[in-house]
Amino acid sequence: MIKWILQKIVGSKHQRELKRMRPMVARINRIEESLQSESREAVLSKVEGWQEHLRRYLPLETATKREIEKLDRDKLSEMATSVGERMRALREEFPNLPDRVTPDPESIENAKESFRGIEDRFPELRQKYLEEILPDAFAVVKNAARRLVGQTIDVCDQPLGWDMVHFDVQLFGGIALHRKMIAEMQTGEGKTLVATLPVFLNALTGLGVHVVTV
């Protein structure tokens, strides 16, 4: 009886979760409304900025120590520049990283070792950044859907007139999926359209994205 009374007063766990999401959904809609007056290029510029930020958290792809020792001066210089750029991108968050990578095997190896010492923090930092940009990123997806309205696209080699723009229920579903929750939706509520939201957001990382439906 007490549990039933409490649920009536404060709502079930799911109701409370939806209540917490409502300000986020309202914010997404406000941002999307402002994007309607933006050019396509301006919207793409936002996306490229997010990708550029997240690229710093990708694995550092370099040769092995033995391979580096066999490189000529030009290749060493090229590798030092590439590794140095990654260090610079990360130094704001990790000020102890080397401030300079010179074109010699020892300097490159030291930078690689420093990188390995921080990369276990990347999943946490990546997730934090995705949560920060979620309202803007979801607004971009909704805006892209709006810009497609009236156009014909090919789906499985069949022409389809696009007429879908995300409703609030789909924004709720997208937030839930991104936060690793199970989102139950009825037939016709637009599960496929929901998936575009977290897929786009997480694809910005440059890593693989998987959505499971049953």
Residue 1: what pLDDT?
Answer: 43
Q: What is the largest CA-CA distance in the chain?
A: 78
**Local structure of residue 213 (DSSP, 8 states):** -
* Residue finishing a domain among 83, 117, 151: 117
Q: Are residues 186 and 134 in the same domain?
A: yes
Q: Are residues 7 and 112 in the same domain?
A: no
Q: Are residues 95 and 139 in the same domain?
A: no
Quick one: what percent of the chain has pLDDT higher than 70? Answer: 94
Q: Are residues 131 and 73 in the same domain?
A: no
**Distance (Å, whole) CA 105 – CA 79:** 10
Q: Are residues 97 and 133 in the same domain?
A: no
Residue 9: what pLDDT?
Answer: 37
CA atoms within 13 A of residue 7's CA, in its CB half-sphere: 8
Q: Are residues 100 and 197 in the same domain?
A: no
Residue 130: what pLDDT?
Answer: 98
Residues 6 or more apart in contact with residue 89 via CB below 8 angstroms: 55, 56
**Distance (Å, whole) CA 67 – CA 61:** 13
Domain count, the chain: 2
pLDDT at residue 3 greater than cutoff 70 = no
Find the domain containing 95 and state its range: 59-117
Q: Are residues 31 and 91 in the same domain?
A: no
For residue 46, being part of any structural domain is answered with no
pLDDT tens-digit readout, 14-55: 788 888 999 999 999 999 999 999 999 999 999 999 999 999
* Residue finishing a domain among 75, 99, 117: 117
Rounded mean pLDDT, 137-158: 93
pTM of the predicted protein model: 0.87
Q: Are residues 95 and 30 in the same domain?
A: no
For residue 50, being part of any structural domain is answered with no
**194 close to 170: Cβ distance less than 8 angstroms:** yes
State the pLDDT confidence band at 113, using cuts at 50, 70 and 90.
very high
Residue 211: what pLDDT?
Answer: 82
Rounded mean pLDDT, 70-87: 94
Rounded mean pLDDT, 147-167: 91
Q: Which two tokens stand for residue 92?
A: 């704001």
